[in-house]
């Protein structure tokens, strides 16, 4: 998976195997609109984010309008409407983790990734750090998502070694 | 002690027996532990028999509302000729709540089996499990278990040779707390914004795809197999306390306890024992300051209120709070209540779907006022303002998200007013100076 | 009492309404306005603005009156302290991010936010120390701007495009207080009916470029009229400022156009304000007094063995009826009917911009004034007299007409190509009152929105006065209403009988 946005022409997602996956999924729902969340996930898997071109492709695939797709896309915070780093880090800072030091973990991530601030991508393009609202692992403070890897019990001290695993 | 710790003697493991046991995740491992016997038994029962057994168990919805499950199932129409759906709410997102995640990642077949039995009870052939997008690991494990269940005939066109069709489809969310609200969840499955719907119509009349639908929490459905095999009476008899609160409940405890984790208790276990025995109490040198017992949207309890409170629906309600989802946030004396209430309000402001005016504007305004207080720039009238905003956000919207935002603000100001006043008077150094 | 009716009390007023009526509509019937934003009678209701919450005795919480059906014996309070406090709260919430740029906002004066805040809002805001949400103004289409900062997210526009136009090209994007209405830059509001979102917007968030900064709402005079764009007969309101028509908006008629008009009709008003009008009767040698002109006209009719009448699609039934009286049953008469594409509004039954772009085609049919146009034009060549009534002719048609013995032109604008012996100034639709009959046989009145130009008369009066001069015992109708009620085709109906939403008249089955 690549998080990099380049100027290359848009590569359609729903061809070949991915199109087959989408159509297999279509048999499990009574409407084609119900494929919208899964389709957006497939786009993000392929491109690392959901570009305006991808919005049009999804709209065409599912018989929806681009504005409708954009409305849904922007409702769900895990879809990226802009390119992000190769590794997208979501750190939970909601109260249960917050009282256990989550903001220290967040600061350590910003420092050691080189991102500097939330939402920014590190100069080497590797990382983007974002705050997440409750990752649902409050007993394992502080949890992170690095792309699809769910990581528990992160401390400021464990951050450098953790990041080293993501080259 | 609860997962991730060894089982504590005061726990009653039913759902959590195999937490931490990776072999229970596979179909073979699950059947070796007695799995799918309940589904096979249920395939020989009528929908009414299943509903009656669950009614007898006294099982109540474990997602937060506590509605009797058997009764909910009995609301589904009979002989209406329409497809019915079962939805499983695996969108566990209420801060402090992480119990369903353990079911999803350790005993996924318990949930699949519960979904299958639930489908039989409500005359549905299809169950959609809506799992929050952040549960990546749980999603992989659950999807693998579903695939295995199909491969072994526990799901599919002819479940265990019964001639009955049962499908379980895992639908992944993508980051929206509000999808835990049942009608918002249905909209999310339908490919829409996760906006809660106006009720009526209720899901049993017009739910998913406009068809009769029942929606149950993960923990609720996972409890069903044991009720089928061991009987509703057995489950009801587990209770230590009120006859209205039966069976076991997973309590996820987090925050400032020595051993945070998911504990399975029989209803009525004293909250004091839960926090101080099972969870090991406070960190050295610290004392208990506050407990939010049922996920972040319920009123905050003080140590006095905790001291003699049984952990069940009625006991916590008697103290003015709610058992809710069973997500318990424990805070010690190091906690800045004003800051944490602001942080919770920020959560709700972030998650507001934007439909209702009071919620869309009220949640973010509440954050701004709390923020100003924390910066040392609060006004003497700000507490009255917060209480008034809370009133405008309570009982006036389609769903209860804005009520949930107001609740910690109101209980926080009532019970920890001195902390707010310390910021307002300048006695306390601003927590957000220069921020 | 029928079981299909329920009786209840709203603010102390008893009312009996059909079962299932939403409280907000029942309140209307009791004469009580429940303030609201997202509710609209022609759209599905999402109950999101929370403005219409009312107190119902024996109910624990305030309830949204737009989606709650009434029940027998209910006691509803719209103006109780709890309901008013809730509305005050919603208004305060709506204002915290609203720019209060009323002095430069087109909606000011007809803004539901302004109105309800004035009625029931707080005197001051408690949200004084924070910047307001800011989003740039966006181009939503050929005639529509979205001023996001003013948006209260009632979603009427989204629902109109989704459920009524059935082209869901508007959507709510983002969440919480970051939300706004979005559109895809490649799919703007070019739908034939999209202009309705401007009317539906309760605030000045969706504004018409055509009307932008043209007039303040309080400077406008409003006149009930009927759209002249096609045979649908949508009810409209002509807005005039200083005697100039500056805007056309839909006027509710649930039987014809609900609350909507198409963009073609909406844009079709500039001709009403043309400055190059014929203002006095003209003979070949110059201006004439009406009396002399009419005497000449009557004599031409008297002496003509063959007469052809060519009218435009906006000729009133009064004009058509009295022209027929004037020329007699043998004369050829036809109405010009420009044709276009049919552009339906998908979500409303039987509503479209029709192919036949003539407002009164069916009126002409009823009155025997809708003969074959091409044949009538052909017959003009060699006819003794051709009467042309306010119609744009092609060069070929004009040449045919000019070859007739005599041409009398009832004109709003002169047409030298016709070589008319008489040019008689007539009023246009905005300057007269009259009746059109739409494609479903509904006779509908329109009223004058501006003064006639110069000495112009309504065409019916010109025809009737010429007719009177044809015999000693004739008395011309004195008013448009009399001109209408004397037409046999309408069976004695009067203007008053038609009311403001019209009436299906005998002969409606003709079209079917």
> Cα(first)–Cα(last) distance of chain A, in Å?
13
Inform me whether the C-beta atom of residue C124 falls under 8 Å from chain B C-beta atoms. Answer: no
Contacts with C227 (C-beta within 8 Å, 6 or more apart), sequence order: C233, C234, C235, C236, C248, C261, C265, C268, C359
What's the CA gap between A50 and A43, in Å, rounded? Answer: 6
* Angle formed at CA C415 by CA C409 and CA C421, multiple of 5 degrees: 45
Whether C170 has its CB under 8 Å from any CB of chain A: the answer is yes
Contacts of B91 (CB under 8 A, 6+ apart): B130, B131, B132, B173, B177, B179, B180, B185
Question: Is-contact C441 C507, C-beta < 8 A?
Answer: yes
Q: Is the dihedral of CA C463, C466, C471, C475 positive or negative?
A: positive
What pLDDT, on the 0 to 100 scale, is given for residue B242? 72
pLDDT in tens, C1-19: 457 999 999 999 999 999 9
A45-53 average pLDDT score: 97
Percent of chain C with pLDDT strictly greater than 90: 96
Contact predicate B274/B264, CB 8 Å: no
What residues does B248 pair with on adjacent strands?
A: B266
For range C396-409, the mean pLDDT: 97
How far apart (Å, rounded) are the C-alpha atoms in residues C495 and B50? 70
Mean pLDDT per 10-residue interval, chain B, length 435 residues: 82 95 97 98 98 97 92 96 97 96 98 98 98 98 98 98 98 97 98 97 97 98 98 91 85 97 94 97 97 96 96 94 95 97 98 98 98 96 98 98 97 97 95 66
CB pairs under 8 A between B and C: 81
* pLDDT the model gives residue C365: 96
- Inter-chain touch A70–C168, beta carbons under 8 Å: no
Q: Which helix (H) or strand (E) covers residue C236, if one does?
A: strand C235-241
The alpha carbons of chain A give a radius of gyration, in whole angstroms, of: 17
The answer, yes or no, to whether residue C511 has pLDDT greater than 60, is no
| C-alpha to C-alpha distance for C76 and C68, rounded to whole angstroms | 12
Mutation target for C interface from B187, B201, B361: give the one with most C CBs within 10 A.
B361
Residue A3 has pLDDT above 80, yes or no: no
Give the residue from chain B lying closest to C36, CA to CA: B357
Q: What share of chain B is helix, strand, coil (3-state, %, to 5)?
A: 45, 15, 40
* Cβ–Cβ below 8 Å for C126 and B385: yes
For tokens 């707390």, name the residue. B177
Indicate yes or no: CB of C184 within 8 angstroms of CB of A71.
no
Distance in angstroms (rounded) separating the CA atoms of residues B251 and B236: 18
Query: What are the C-alpha distances in Å from C406 to residues B56, C288, C320, C462?
Result: 99, 17, 20, 17
Out of B354, B385, B396, whose CB is closest to C62? Answer: B396
Q: Spell out where B201-309 has E strands.
A: 213-217, 248-255, 261-266, 269-270, 288-292
Is residue B330 within 8 Å of residue B254, measured between CB atoms? yes
Alpha-carbon gap, residue C364 to C415, rounded angstroms: 23
Q: Which residues from chain C sit within 8 angstroms of residue A67, using beta carbons?
A: 168-171, 182-184, 187
C507: pLDDT confidence band, cut at 50, 70 and 90?
low
What's the pLDDT tens digit per position in A108-151?
999 999 999 999 999 999 999 999 999 999 999 999 999 999 99
Task: Suggest the residue from C124, C152, C177 to mutate for an interface test with chain B (most B CBs closer than 10 A).
Answer: C177
Report the distance separating Cα B106 and Cα B100, nearest Å.
10
Q: Which of C51, C176, C181 is best to mutate for the B interface (most B CBs within 10 A)?
A: C176
Written as six digits, the tokens of A80 are 């990226």
Smallest Cβ–Cβ distance between A74 and the set C174, C183, C187 belongs to C174
Bond before C312 cis per omega within 30 degrees? no
Burial B148-169 (b: 16+ CB within 10 A, else e): bbbebebbbeebbeeeeebbbb
Interface predicted TM-score (ipTM): 0.95
Interface touch B357/C96, C-beta < 8 Å: no
Q: Is B176 in Cβ contact with A75 (below 8 Å)?
A: yes
> What is the number of other CB atoms lying within 10 angstroms of the CB of residue A27?
6
Which residues contact residue B226 at a Cβ distance below 8 angstroms, ignoring those fewer than 6 apart?
B14, B15, B38, B235
Total residue length of chain C: 512
Own/partner contacts of A21-28, CB < 8 Å, gap of 24 or more, are A22/A61, A28/B167, A28/B169
Contact at 8 Å (CB) between B90 and B129? yes
Indicate which of C184, C187, C188, C194 best probes the interface with A, i.e. most A CBs within 10 Å of its own CB.
Answer: C184
Q: Is residue C208 within a helix (H) or strand (E), and if so which, with residue range?
A: strand C206-208
CB B130 within 8 A of CB B181: no
Distance from CA of C143 to the nearest CA of B (A): 27
Contacts of A66 in chain C (CB under 8 A): 184, 186-187
Taking the C-alpha atoms of residue B180 and residue B196, their distance in angstroms, rounded to an integer, is: 10
**pLDDT-derived band at C371, boundaries 50, 70, 90:** very high
Closest approach of B139 to chain C, Cα-based (Å) = 25
Residues of chain C neighbouring B385 (CB-CB closer than 8 A) = 126
Q: Looking at chain B, which subunits does it touch, using at least 3 CB pairs closer than 8 Å as the criterion?
A: A, C
Phi, psi of A115 (to 5 degrees): -70, -35
pLDDT per residue as tens digits for the range B101-157 = 999 999 999 999 999 999 999 999 999 999 999 999 999 999 999 999 999 999 999
pLDDT score recorded for residue B433 = 62
Q: Would you say C422 and C296 are in contact if contact means Cβ atoms under 8 Å apart?
A: yes
Nearby residues of B143 by Cβ (< 8 Å), 6 or more positions away: B170
Q: Which two tokens stand for residue B362?
A: 């009220």
Interface check B76 vs C, CB under 8 A = no
Question: Which of C48, C97, C126 is the closest to B355 by Cβ?
Answer: C48
* Chain C: closest CA distance from residue B361 (Å): 6
Count CA atoms closer than 13 A to B127's CA, side-chain side. 31
DSSP lists the bridge partners of residue C335 as C311
| Chain B partners within 8 Å of A136 (Cβ) | 92-93, 97-98, 101, 132, 134-135
What distance in Å separates residue A163's CA from the closest CA in chain B? Answer: 19
Q: Are B200 and B90 in contact (CB under 8 A)?
A: no
**Average of per-residue pLDDT across C322-339:** 97
pLDDT of residue A1: 42
- Chains touching A (at least 3 CB pairs under 8 A) are B, C
- Angle between the B108-122 and B99-106 helix axes, to the nearest 10 degrees? 100
Q: What is the pLDDT of residue B241?
A: 73
Half-sphere exposure of B293 (CA within 13 A, CB side): 30
Q: Are residues C96 and B365, on separate chains, in Cβ contact within 8 Å?
A: yes
Sign of the torsion formed by the C-alpha atoms of B406, B408, B411 and B415: negative
B206 touches chain C (CB under 8 A): no
- Report d(CA C411, CA C506) in Å as an integer: 31
Q: Are B372 and B366 within 8 A, CB to CB?
A: no
For chains A and B, what is the number of CB pairs under 8 angstroms? 144
Cα C489 to Cα C226, C234, C242, C337, C373, distances in angstroms: 21, 22, 37, 22, 22
Rg (CA), chain C: 27
Is B335's CB within 8 Å of A40's CB?
A: no
> Is it the case that residue C510 has pLDDT exceeding 50?
no
| Half-sphere exposure (Cβ direction) of C483: Cα atoms closer than 13 Å | 30
C85-116 tens-digit pLDDT: 999 999 999 999 999 899 999 999 999 999 99
- Asked if residues B134 and B367 have their Cβ atoms less than 8 Å apart, the reply is no
What is the per-residue pLDDT across C303-313, written as a single tens digit (0 to 9) for each? 999 999 999 99
CB B95 within 8 A of CB B325: no
Asked if the bond preceding B200 is cis, omega within 30° of 0, the reply is yes
Question: For C422, phi and psi rounded to 5 degrees?
Answer: -135, 135
Position B65 scores a pLDDT of: 86
Contact B136 A37 (CB under 8 A): no
pLDDT tens digits, one per residue of C215-272? 999 999 999 999 999 999 999 999 999 999 999 999 999 999 999 999 999 999 999 9
For residue B170, what is the enclosing H or E element?
strand B167-172
Q: Do C175 and B176 touch (CB under 8 A)?
A: yes
């Amino acid at each position: 998976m690549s998080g990099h946005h380049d100027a290359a022409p848009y590569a359609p997602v729903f061809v070949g195997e991915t199109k087959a996956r989408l159509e297999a999924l279509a048999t499990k729902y009574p409407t084609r609109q119900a494929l919208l969340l899964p389709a957006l996930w497939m786009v993000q898997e392929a491109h690392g984010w959901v570009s305006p071109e991808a919005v049009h492709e999804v709209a065409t695939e599912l018989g929806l309008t681009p504005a409708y797709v954009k409305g849904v896309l922007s409702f769900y915070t895990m879809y990226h409407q802009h390119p992000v780093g190769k590794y997208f880090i979501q750190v939970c800072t909601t109260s249960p983790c917050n009282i256990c030091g989550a903001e220290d973990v967040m600061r350590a991530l910003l420092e050691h990734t080189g991102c500097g601030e939330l939402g920014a991508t590190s100069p080497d393009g590797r990382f983007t750090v974002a705050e997440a609202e409750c990752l649902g692992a409050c007993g394992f403070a502080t949890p992170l998502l690095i792309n699809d890897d769910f990581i528990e019990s992160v401390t400021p001290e464990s951050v450098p070694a953790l990041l080293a695993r993501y080259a | 002690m609860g997962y991730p710790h060894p089982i504590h003697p005061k726990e009653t493991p039913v759902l959590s027996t195999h937490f931490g046991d990776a072999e229970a995740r596979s179909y073979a491992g699950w059947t070796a532990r007695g799995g799918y016997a309940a589904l096979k038994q249920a395939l020989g029962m009528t929908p009414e028999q299943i509903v009656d057994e669950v009614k007898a168990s006294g099982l109540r919805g474990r997602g937060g509302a506590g509605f009797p499950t058997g009764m909910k199932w009995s609301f589904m129409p009979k002989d209406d000729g329409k497809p019915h759906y079962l939805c499983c709410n695996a969108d566990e997102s209420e801060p402090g709540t992480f119990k369903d995640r353990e079911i999803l990642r350790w005993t996924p077949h318990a949930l699949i089996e519960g979904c299958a039995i639930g489908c039989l009870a409500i005359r549905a052939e299809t169950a959609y499990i809506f799992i929050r997008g952040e549960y990546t690991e749980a999603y992989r494990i659950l999807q693998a278990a579903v695939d295995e269940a199909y491969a072994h005939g526990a799901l599919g066109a002819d479940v265990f040779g019964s001639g009955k069709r049962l499908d379980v489809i895992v639908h992944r969310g993508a980051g929206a707390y509000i999808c835990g609200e049942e009608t918002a969840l249905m909209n999310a499955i339908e490919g829409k914004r996760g906006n809660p719907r106006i009720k009526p119509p209720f899901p049993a009349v017009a739910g998913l795809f406009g068809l009769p639908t029942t929606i149950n929490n993960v923990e609720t459905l996972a409890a069903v197999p044991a009720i089928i095999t061991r009987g509703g009476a057995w489950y009801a008899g587990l209770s230590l306390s009120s006859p209205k609160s039966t069976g076991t409940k997973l309590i996820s405890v987090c925050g400032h306890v020595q051993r945070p984790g998911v504990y399975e208790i029989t209803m009525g276990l004293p909250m004091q024992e839960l926090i101080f025995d099972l969870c090991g109490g406070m960190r050295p040198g610290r004392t208990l300051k506050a407990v939010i017992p049922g996920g972040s949207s319920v009123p905050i309890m003080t140590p006095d209120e905790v001291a003699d409170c049984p952990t069940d629906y009625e006991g916590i309600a008697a103290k003015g709070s709610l058992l809710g989802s069973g997500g318990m946030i424990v805070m010690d004396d190091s906690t800045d209540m004003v800051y944490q209430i602001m942080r919770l309000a920020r959560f709700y402001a972030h998650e507001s779907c934007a439909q209702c005016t009071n919620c869309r504007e009220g949640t973010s305004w509440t954050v701004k006022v709390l923020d100003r207080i924390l910066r040392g720039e609060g006004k003497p009238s700000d507490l009255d303002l917060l209480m008034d905003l809370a009133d405008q956000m309570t009982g006036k919207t389609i769903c209860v998200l804005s009520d949930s935002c107001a609740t910690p603000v109101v209980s926080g100001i009532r019970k920890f007013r001195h902390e707010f006043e310390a910021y307002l008077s300048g006695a306390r150094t601003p927590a957000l100076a220069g921020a | 009492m029928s079981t299909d009716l329920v009786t209840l009390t709203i603010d102390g007023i008893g009312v009996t309404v059909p079962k299932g009526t939403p409280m907000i509509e029942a309140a209307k019937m009791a004469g009580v306005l429940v303030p609201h934003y997202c509710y609209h009678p022609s759209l599905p209701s999402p109950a999101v603005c929370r403005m219409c919450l009312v107190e119902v005795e024996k109910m624990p919480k305030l309830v949204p009156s737009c989606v709650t059906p009434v029940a027998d014996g209910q006691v509803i309070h719209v103006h109780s302290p709890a309901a008013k406090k809730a509305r005050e709260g919603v208004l305060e919430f709506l204002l915290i991010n609203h720019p209060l740029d009323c002095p430069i906002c087109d909606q000011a004066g007809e803004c539901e936010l302004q109105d309800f805040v004035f009625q029931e809002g707080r005197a001051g805001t408690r949200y004084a120390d924070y910047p307001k949400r800011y989003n740039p103004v966006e181009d939503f289409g050929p005639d529509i701007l979205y001023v996001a900062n003013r948006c209260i997210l009632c979603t009427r526009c989204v629902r109109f495009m989704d459920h009524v136009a059935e082209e869901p090209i508007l959507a709510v994007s983002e969440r919480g207080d970051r939300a706004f209405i979005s559109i895809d830059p490649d799919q703007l509001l070019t739908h034939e009916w999209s202009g309705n979102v401007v009317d539906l917007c309760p605030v000045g968030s969706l504004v018409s470029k055509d009307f932008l900064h043209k007039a303040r709402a309080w400077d406008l005079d409003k006149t009930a009229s009927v759209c002249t764009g096609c045979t649908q007969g949508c009810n409209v309101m002509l807005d005039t400022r200083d005697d100039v028509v500056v805007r056309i908006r839909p006027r509710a008629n649930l039987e014809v156009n609900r609350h909507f008009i198409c963009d073609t009709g909406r844009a079709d008003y500039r001709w009403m304000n043309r400055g190059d009008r014929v203002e006095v009767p003209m003979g070949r040698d110059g201006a004439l007094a009406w009396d002399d002109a009419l005497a000449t006209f009557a004599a031409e009719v008297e002496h003509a063995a063959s007469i052809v009448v060519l009218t435009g699609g906006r000729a009133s039934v009064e004009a058509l009826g009295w022209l027929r009286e004037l020329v007699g049953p043998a004369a050829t008469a036809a109405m010009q009917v420009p044709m276009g594409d049919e552009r339906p509004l998908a979500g409303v039954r039987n509503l479209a911009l029709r192919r036949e772009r003539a407002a009164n085609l069916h009126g002409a049919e009823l009155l025997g004034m809708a003969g074959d146009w091409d044949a009538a034009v052909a017959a003009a060549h060699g006819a003794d007299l051709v009467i042309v009534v306010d119609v744009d002719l092609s060069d070929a048609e004009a040449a045919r007409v000019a070859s007739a013995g005599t041409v009398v032109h009832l004109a709003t604008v002169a047409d030298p190509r016709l070589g008319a012996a008489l040019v008689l100034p007539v009023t246009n639709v905005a300057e007269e009152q009259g009746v059109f009959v739409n494609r479903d046989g509904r006779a509908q009145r329109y009223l004058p929105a501006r003064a006639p130009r110069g000495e112009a008369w309504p065409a019916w009066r010109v025809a009737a006065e010429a007719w009177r001069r044809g015999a000693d015992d004739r008395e011309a109708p004195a008013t448009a209403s009399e001109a209408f009620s004397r037409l046999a085709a309408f069976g004695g109906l009067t203007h008053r009988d038609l009311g403001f939403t019209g009436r299906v008249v005998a002969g409606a089955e003709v079209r079917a």
